[in-house]
Structure 1
């Protein structure tokens, strides 16, 4: 099989020519001569992956829901019905051809490729060029990173005192009615709600706690820092905010089933994980010409480094900053036996991409060490998906809280 034919599939696209040539000997072809032939029965257990080369197939779940996948479509970039035992009955919808390979063998090669790339810490040529331009602009004062809003700085100053006073915090926040309203809404959200509703700033602070109040004030303030004039940049910033809120809501939800992790910290890391994109977009907004397709690749590649740079500039916790820096290192495995917040947010990021057009650019849940650590504590792919589906109301609530 030609290497270019293989590179249409996401897992293979991450491999070198040498890896593809070595794997070629282990690949087999499965042909269906007509519609209705069973390719994978419901409950199939064997560690084999199928990739659709030609024709179309159907995936039918146990409850009867059916999905059609055609060759060369976005859905066909991924292997078919990967989870084991198989959650679907897979049949041909027409004459079809599929590529068959050992799942373990392919996963090992993908992991080796990603680890090699991470160890080299090498940017692509376009990203490297853009990175140099950004650093040069910062060093020459042609571009300045945004400073934290004054209300967030004042709240931080209060909390840095040996014995912070709730009254001081309340006095600062009451000068900003919009901020107070957002904090009250947060305190009354499903994650923090008690038997009674909060009505005042003081009640909200008491329920949320000083640290959480400080974090939320900072997060609510961030959006005003990133304003753009260029239409594409403005639209892309909105997408970035929306993505961060989705990741944050899912991460916070998952902590309910992993009590050793803080829901507040998960929310914070989820909301700042892609701040690097916003910093880069702010820089791009100064440019007169933008190539959206090229910038999408650069944004994803440079997001972790730019995010860590911004959080360092704002004197964020070094551990949180390092989590942001390592977020695209999907195969990273911390020394901790239990899942960390960084693991949780990686899993939340993957969840947030399920069903989207760019899902194929990200690894599967069961391919990353972060998910396997959560799985040790009882989080299966099926249960994980159910949790997120049940979180629609909480996600909508979090979106509203952050003005989306």
Structure 2
């Protein structure tokens, strides 16, 4: 049996036996989510929780000052940043900004692969957030929101992490990028769903991680999967036979106003603003 087939067999067995080691949510994200779910918590309390992680604190200030939030007056402290973002949004925004902590490895080869994977994730996330922002301008009563898509689009491909962890024990598979891509395509969604459930995330996050790349899954109503798929198609990370035709389907569904939006100055400018949050 080839190394590649052996790895696939191991992964499938571990999934079926529920013995695959799943990544744990960053500790600061756990604490932020617990605090956000406490009805007694206030903005100052939330600031204290985030302050325990200097990297996340700096990231939240950057988000609060981003052009995407459209504020001319800059904030300089974490408490000001938390106040600007707001308690309702802070749970998902802070969790999203902590996700990068998972894409690390001491192994040089794996580290490089994870770094590239994270950058691709950020590209898709930036596009998805931009597309939803444009959609909400014309659909103000939509139940979809920016803080949820921000987190959903940063965990949509989270299933790759256990695959890479397992592959780290079989170094030669990294010499075959095509195999790794096939393994992720076959098992990434299934594993991603397991991770979202293990983290006690809501069904909308399970749906994204588990089904975003499944061509058989065609939700009737507008949902976060739509925007992540459009972004992945736009960024060339979801292979489709006809890009224009695939995007036109979202125009027909009423999710996208026109395929040409992706070539517009408005889209490009907003996309750059969103990307500045992750820089």
The verdict on a shared fold, with TM-score over 0.5 as the criterion, is yes
Question: 1:180, 1:205 → 2: CA distance?
Answer: 9
The aligned counterpart of 2:105 is 228
Equivalent residue number for residue 224 of structure 2: 341
Gaps of 5+ in 1: 1-124
2:135 aligned partner: 258
Normalised by the length of structure 1, the TM-score is 0.59
| Secondary structure in structure 1 of the residue aligned to 2:67 | coil
Deviations 1:187-235 (A, max 9, x none): 1112213231122111111111224222232223222233224443222
Q: Which residue of structure 1 aligns with residue 262 of structure 2?
A: 384
Local SS of the residue matching 1:199? coil
* Structure (1/2) with the larger helix percentage: 2
Q: CA offsets per residue over residues 302-345 of structure 1, 9 Å max, x none?
A: 21111111111111112221222111123533232xx2221111
Larger radius of gyration: 1
Match of 1:190 in 2: 67
How many residue pairs get aligned? The number is 266
Q: Which among 366, 373, 393 is matched to residue 272 of structure 2?
A: 393
Q: Distance in 2 between matches of 1:388 and 1:127?
A: 41
Contact conserved, 1:240 with 1:278, CA < 8 A, in 2? no
1:212 aligns with 2:89: yes
Secondary structure, in 3 states, of the residue corresponding to 1:148? coil
In 1: Cα distance, 2:229 partner to 2:102 partner: 26
Partner of 2:51: 174
For residues 10 and 180 of structure 2, what CA distance do their matches in structure 1 show? Answer: 10
- Are the equivalent residues in 2 in contact too, given 1:365–1:371 (CA < 8 A)? no
| Contact 2:126-2:274 at 8 Å conserved across structures | yes
Task: Give the structure 2 partner of residue 281 of structure 1.
Answer: 164
Contact 2:124 2:231 in 1 (8 A): yes
CA distance 1:135–1:154, change in 2 (3 Å): same
Following superposition, the deviation at residue 127 of structure 1 comes to: 8.4
- Change in CA separation of 1:314 and 1:362 when aligned onto 2, cut-off 3 Å: farther
RMSD: 2.7
| Corresponding position of 1:22 | none
Which residue of the partner structure matches residue 28 of structure 1? none
In 2, Cα distance between equivalents of 1:367 and 1:127 = 33
**Aligned residue for 1:327?**
212
Report the CA distance shift for 1:251/1:288 in structure 2 as closer, same or farther (over 3 A).
closer
**Structure 2 unaligned regions, length at least 5:** 137-141
Aligned-pair distance for 1:370?
5.5
Cα gap change, 1:380 to 1:181, in 2 (>3 Å): same
Structure 1 residues 359 and 343, CA gap change in structure 2 (3 angstroms): closer
* Residues 1:255 and 1:222: Cα distance change in structure 2 (over 3 Å): closer
Runs of 4+ in 1 over 4 A off after TM superposition: 125-128, 358-363
* Higher RCO (CA-CA < 8 Å; seq separation 6+): 2
